[in-house]
Amino acid sequence: MRILVVSDIHGNRAALEAIREPHDACLCLGDIVDYGPEPAACVDWVRANAAHCVRGNHDHGVAHDVEVQGVSGFRYLTAATRPGTVRLLSAGQRRYLADLPTAAMLALGGKRFLLVHGTPRDPLDEYALATVENWAPLLAGLTVDFVLVGHTHQLYALDVNGVTVVNPGSVGLNRNNDPRATYAVIDDGRVELKSVEYPVEETVAALDGFLPRNPLARQMLTETYRGNGLLARWAKTSPPSDETTPS
């Protein structure tokens, strides 16, 4: 059985649609929305194509219209893009996000899977470093073959005491200065970590209508999509006061 695993799409339709991987089942690990300019199309894609999906922290925030106060880095971008994301989704799409489970246990192809966005201990928010030492206590007591996680935007696969932990990275907002979309394929139990180029400039062009009054957020996202690492400059520094109002 060939399983496509995607996560952290973040409203980037062009990146999502570039994944043309043949598969028998698609699993989504959350954060369908926020940051990117086309959240509605991404929600619709997941609803139509994912056999199972769990809720990410950004899905939760958008579903419940949680206001974010952010002054730097990705928290600033969350604050800048949250209002537009909520505005572009229908009531039904937000209800879909709210109804997603925070964890899912399932069997596919004779293997047992646990799906969470963060970690089994904190499915929505916990970041787990990609090390065996970090993951071993998080898996204690679990009787599964695979734990599939997202959230960190790091692409990796780890064998932790007989359990394979897979993070497919981010489809829509790669943070490692690589402009490609990343994902994973599990083919008869064998993990393949993959990247694919997509038309980045389509996503960049869509930012104009999504964030018409916030040139700083557009610049930060543009540089991130292009793989130029601009966000490192803003990680600990607040943007200029005249550019901090989210659109």
Report pLDDT digits (tens) over 169-195: 999 999 888 999 999 999 999 999 999
Average pLDDT in the 129-137 region?
97
Q: Quote the CA–CA distance of 32 and 39 in Å, as a whole number.
A: 7
Residue 234 or residue 242, greater confidence: 234
What's this model's pTM, rounded to 2 decimal places?
0.94
Higher-pLDDT residue of 219 and 240 is 219
Residue 95 belongs to what H/E stretch? helix 91-99
The residue type at 28: C
Q: What confidence tens digit (pLDDT) does each residue in 192-207 have?
A: 999 999 999 999 999 9
User: Is a pLDDT exceeding 60 seen at residue 247?
Assistant: no
Q: Are the beta carbons of 4 and 27 closer than 8 angstroms?
A: yes
Distance separating alpha carbons of residues 177 and 67, to the nearest angstrom = 28
Residue type, 138: L
pLDDT confidence of residue 242: 37
- Write down the pLDDT at residue 230: 67
What CA–CA distances, in Å, run from 56 to 75, 155, 175, 182? 15, 17, 17, 17
**Which residue matches tokens 């489970």?**
101
